Chain A
Amino acid sequence: MIGRPDVFVIGRLLEAMSTAPGPIRRTPLQQRAGLNYTVFQRYLEYLVRLGFVVAAPGTDDLLELTPKGVDAHRFLADGLARIFGPVDGGPAVPSERGR
């Protein structure tokens, strides 16, 4: 259970998933997001509860992003970039992604 969630951590997790070449296992996801195990577990559970992440069909341990998760990622990336200024990371996440 997390109190007020850290939007940076959520953003990193969502981004790690959205840029993975396909459904991803927990350990590579944790590494891509650069989070420690405890934080990762807590936030992954939170994202699943919010419906941002689901298990890929027909698998037990592969995770993938839902359209709601894609929206959330775009919302956070845009919002944080607005606050902290433009960053050299290429264009914003296309709105039709994953639809």
Chain B
Amino acid sequence: MRAAAPGPDRSRMVGVVDASRAILDGAQDLARRSRRVSWLAWGSFYAAYGGFLVLVLLGLFFPVPGSVTNGSSGLSVPPLWAYLVSFAPAGLLLVAAVRELFAARAASRAVIRGVSPGPARPRGPDERPGWTQQVVESQKLLTNAKVEVDWSILPIAGCLLGLDGAVGLVVETATAGSASLVPFLGVVLGLGFVCPFVYLLYRIGQQWIGGFQQHLDRQVREVSALEAEFLWRFAGSPA
């Protein structure tokens, strides 16, 4: 009757349970990354429009040799380096946000492929959520992450449009306000670069979180089927 058998099999079930926790760890990592993307995106947005303020202040209060005066408005125009100083923070934050978005997608794919980014976080006996609890928590995290990433695309678009405007100002400064191509340049950059780039980032955000959600849904379906089969086979009823 006794089915005892010493051996290495204990770690098998423990390993499975640990592997099942990877989904929650992955969702928590995804939530952290989406929050970072959000912060960086909004940071780049405020930095871009703050850059215009800095530019105006530089032009008004710190006139530097080499500035020219725009005859029509009477405002002093700052030199080219002032643009760099004003908009560099926005550019850096934007690059950081985009990099984080790409890095998050790579991390999400690794979890889906079953490649853990690191060893499973050790948990105490009181810190072992059941499968259902893990799924519920992961789904909540994924929903929040999706909302956060969706809303991050807006400030990124705003930042890019702000930088688009800054490029127009630079061209105007470089050509001493005589360029008739400035509005044209703004439209071309907006339609040719900003719109496709923002759409690309939106798609990456969707794929990143959507792929993870599909992975979780698939696991839920498979565990559910296993449960049903187990009950049918061993308990004589499907539920």
Chain A residues engaging chain B, CB cutoff 8 angstroms: 4-12, 14-23, 34, 36, 50, 52, 54, 56-57, 64-73, 75-77, 79-85, 87-94, 97-98
Contacts and interface: CB of A to CB of B under 8 A. Distances in A.
Nearest to A93: B9
B7 A90 contact: yes
Contact of A8 (B3, B11, B131): B131
B16 A87 contact: yes
Mostly, the B contact residues are helix
B217 interface: no
Interface in B16-30: 16-20, 22
Q: Which one of B2, B125, B229, B231 has the greatest number of beta carbons of chain A within 10 Å?
A: B2
Contact of A83 (B125, B126, B223, B239): B223
Contact of A72 (B8, B22, B126, B230): B230
Contacts, number: 147
A41 B159 CA distance: 59
B233 A87 contact: no
B14 to A, nearest CB: 7
Given A65-B2, A77-B12, A84-B219, A8 B226 contact: no
B3 A18 contact: yes
Contacts of A77: 9, 12-13, 16
Given A65-B4, A69-B3, A89 B131 contact: no
Given A15-B9, A75-B233, A84-B20, A6 B130 contact: yes
Nearest to A24: B4
A83 B222 CA distance: 7
Given A65-B2, A83-B222, A89-B8, A72 B234 contact: yes
Contacts of B122: none
